[in-house]
Structure 1
């Protein structure tokens, strides 16, 4: 399939030079951007031509942290004002009842919500494996494939239950041997290291308070053996700080260093409570960060020091986090909140609209070590492209800087999305997915699990 997008008002490339092409065109062959330029394109063989008149195009967003299954547990009344640990303890008792069908539907819903807000690549931190449901990773990966999203799955894990000093109930933790065996199975079955792969796998113990020191070390060893990435939560709350001090006599970053997790294949979610020394060591390790501003705000966890980190070697991306701590999966909201929250803490010049958009595009690609393939609109990159019509109500009066307006004027949704060369959203509607079906199924399952 050969596709030409022409007459675009602006193509914001987010390449190394942050080029913004006015009146530009993009030529796509199958799943790769083959050429691009300004003004009128040369005579090109094409199967489809798309008018970009009145539109701004960006590389697709890259979501670096989520828990898809939590989209079944939005706005739960009992925990609308709870802190993280209390929130977790309460919800574990509901989460323990999820099954493969719940994961299949919630995965689809979570991805569709993100796709509408511009996400073309996402990861997910799937760490919950209730007994008797060994096929949850398979259900999730198959559901993600059906949506057409580019998916970097993570096989998460928990092995410390309440009786061992952890937070989760026995019914959702697994033995370390079982965890490692299934991690290996999932990598061998699903991980695709080839360029432009649609499915990759990382390994992701849940957090310092839900797995053992030995499992953290063994997971690093397996990641190195199979050359996959590593992911976990880190330094999200002061409660975590206190837990790590009481359990290991170390603060969270110190503990990560002890178990071998300060290395370039790692990315951490949250990183709210960091000292200057923590930031330096994370930078020296070239670690990645999934900044989740809305979830941090929702749970009252604090404000991650992104402004102090953005000039370092830390790879910074954005994440919506789970929909039980965000209650949304809107990536555009994440981009906007990333800007506003840093300005609340550090001042109006702390961060710019283009900086947060870069975090959502190339930043996320760098976090997932996919920056040679995605994250910018350039020749040779994957055809993951999103577009916004600028004649919408929220942009009225905001066209002096259309790219900045996407953040400052609160863009609501994409009008166009192409993933791996396939158009998945056109005129704001899904081309291959029955949105109403998934909404109805999700609500049925959510009602059952929350009753």
Structure 2
């Protein structure tokens, strides 16, 4: 019998998220060449392995999939500004001056810090939507950093093309030339995009929203994505101010405008979608449009009129709903475990019962739902033969889970807080024995703090 590269063995339970395989008590997972090459229960003899890890006392799940993020925002984290009075537009204008200072160093550091935190939370695949490009080459630097860290990555080349002088919510100096943006999309696709099922890097295109991008940018981006067979991503229906801006400018609801611009297709997944109508949810399901639900960012500033996002209704309509951390200036943390727990609790609050969002369905959103939304169904977010060897191992014999033996999946999100004990991407440990295995992390954090001070204009304390 050929030896596997890695064997995770003797787990209390392996939750595959695969309908055919189900749960594997006393289970094991073998990874060879970056792919899953075997799974079994305690009754099935595992293969020999070059490295075997005892997962006794642990729950094993697919690695979590983060379907929406702005990693650069951890440079301006936890900006609680009561003087902004909950205004989305005022929030953007407050930070644009800081964010316009982004350079390669800032992007590399924020990517490293954000991906380390994501990996610690059990995340193995992440999206990042970089829509600010005050200097060239920033997305190349981010992709290079993701490769150094070993995180599976979908890099969204975002943009803003409608500056303030044209009525957009974007400083004129940050508004990009549309032709130059589209040319860069093609360049990034040619240089970095890998369509293979085991790809470490995919490229997607993402004009940020209807507040700061022209209709021409939206339409031409959709046409380019169709020609190159890549994914489309944007923010929509995420705030009352956005709704008011779009309906005043276009005399239609935000999702109706996206539809008119050729965006509601199976290539697209949208961030937030807090205010969809019943008809719009049915249309998203019919067209195969995915949604990234970012629960913390919708409530951390004081909540939204109308209550939590209608996630239960979207799932029931047949929409692929994933979980996203959003930017750390909006949500303050980069833990996909925490976002999944928050999504579960808010859905229960909206529905008025625990049945509105069982823990296992929250896990589905954080794995299979996210994979489907970003176009990687069957590749990530599931443990099955030939899928990517990405998994999270959770210690269930620790203090937060004492007394929670009956249902470890429910315990994972009902209890806590927790961090992953092991996080594995393609058979490689990003977190091992509860500690991030990121080379030079302490030095990265030191440099990150220096960059925070520079961007925020904060003087270092004297010693």
TM-score by length of 1: 0.97
Mark the CA change 1:257 to 1:54 in structure 2 (over 3 Å): closer, same or farther.
same
1:376 aligns with 2:382: yes
Of 279, 285, 288, which aligns to 2:287?
Answer: 285
Q: Secondary structure at the match of 1:255?
A: helix
Aligned pairs for 1:89-100 within 5 A? 89-100=93-104
Of 314, 323, 329, which aligns to 2:328?
Answer: 323
1:85 aligns with 2:86: no
Q: In structure 2, what is the Cα distance between the partners aligned to 1:46 and 1:333?
A: 33
Aligned pairs for 1:46-445 within 5 A? 46-78=49-81, 82-130=86-134, 133-299=135-301, 300-301=303-304, 302-348=307-353, 349-445=355-451
Residue 336 of structure 1 contacts residue 410 of structure 1 at CA under 8 Å; is this kept in 2? no
* CA-based RMSD: 1.4
Q: In structure 1, what is the Cα distance between the partners aligned to 2:325 and 2:349?
A: 19
Residue 25 of structure 1 contacts residue 40 of structure 1 at CA under 8 Å; is this kept in 2? no
- How far residue 423 of structure 1 moved from its aligned partner, in angstroms, is 1.7
1:232-285 Cα deviation digits (max 9, x unpaired) = 000001111111111111110110111011110000000001111111111111
Q: In structure 1, what is the Cα distance between the partners aligned to 2:20 and 2:256?
A: 36
Q: In structure 2, what is the Cα distance between the partners aligned to 1:330 and 1:447?
A: 23
Moved more, 402-411 or 286-295: 402-411
Q: Secondary structure at the match of 2:378?
A: coil
Residue 101 of structure 2 contacts residue 455 of structure 2 at CA under 8 Å; is this kept in 1? yes
Q: In structure 2, what is the Cα distance between the partners aligned to 1:295 and 1:220?
A: 27
Q: In structure 1, what is the Cα distance between the partners aligned to 2:103 and 2:46?
A: 53
Q: In structure 2, what is the Cα distance between the partners aligned to 1:28 and 1:108?
A: 25
**What is the aligned partner in structure 1 of residue 31 from structure 2?**
28
Aligned residues: 449
Q: Secondary structure at the match of 2:202?
A: strand
Q: In structure 2, what is the Cα distance between the partners aligned to 1:78 and 1:94?
A: 15
Unaligned runs of at least 5 residues, structure 2: 458-463
Q: In structure 1, what is the Cα distance between the partners aligned to 2:435 and 2:54?
A: 17
1:121-147 Cα deviation digits (max 9, x unpaired) = 0001100011xx101111111111111
1:395-432 Cα deviation digits (max 9, x unpaired) = 11222211111100024200001101112211011234
1:323-363 Cα deviation digits (max 9, x unpaired) = 00001111111011101111111111211000000100011
- How far residue 303 of structure 1 moved from its aligned partner, in angstroms, is 1.8
- How far residue 312 of structure 1 moved from its aligned partner, in angstroms, is 2.0
- How far residue 40 of structure 1 moved from its aligned partner, in angstroms, is 4.8
Mark the CA change 1:443 to 1:166 in structure 2 (over 3 Å): closer, same or farther.
same
Residue 72 of structure 2 contacts residue 110 of structure 2 at CA under 8 Å; is this kept in 1? yes
1:9 aligns with 2:12: yes
Q: In structure 1, what is the Cα distance between the partners aligned to 2:21 and 2:455?
A: 46
Residue 131 of structure 2 contacts residue 206 of structure 2 at CA under 8 Å; is this kept in 1? yes
Q: In structure 2, what is the Cα distance between the partners aligned to 1:296 and 1:223?
A: 29
Residue 116 of structure 2 contacts residue 438 of structure 2 at CA under 8 Å; is this kept in 1? no
- How far residue 81 of structure 1 moved from its aligned partner, in angstroms, is 5.7
Q: In structure 2, what is the Cα distance between the partners aligned to 1:43 and 1:107?
A: 37
**What is the aligned partner in structure 1 of residue 461 from structure 2?**
none
Q: In structure 1, what is the Cα distance between the partners aligned to 2:79 and 2:380?
A: 36
Residue 6 of structure 1 contacts residue 41 of structure 1 at CA under 8 Å; is this kept in 2? no
Q: In structure 1, what is the Cα distance between the partners aligned to 2:416 and 2:254?
A: 35
Q: Secondary structure at the match of 2:9?
A: strand
Q: In structure 2, what is the Cα distance between the partners aligned to 1:423 and 1:41?
A: 25
- How far residue 17 of structure 1 moved from its aligned partner, in angstroms, is 4.7
Q: In structure 2, what is the Cα distance between the partners aligned to 1:411 and 1:36?
A: 28
Mark the CA change 1:228 to 1:278 in structure 2 (over 3 Å): closer, same or farther.
same
Q: In structure 2, what is the Cα distance between the partners aligned to 1:29 and 1:118?
A: 20
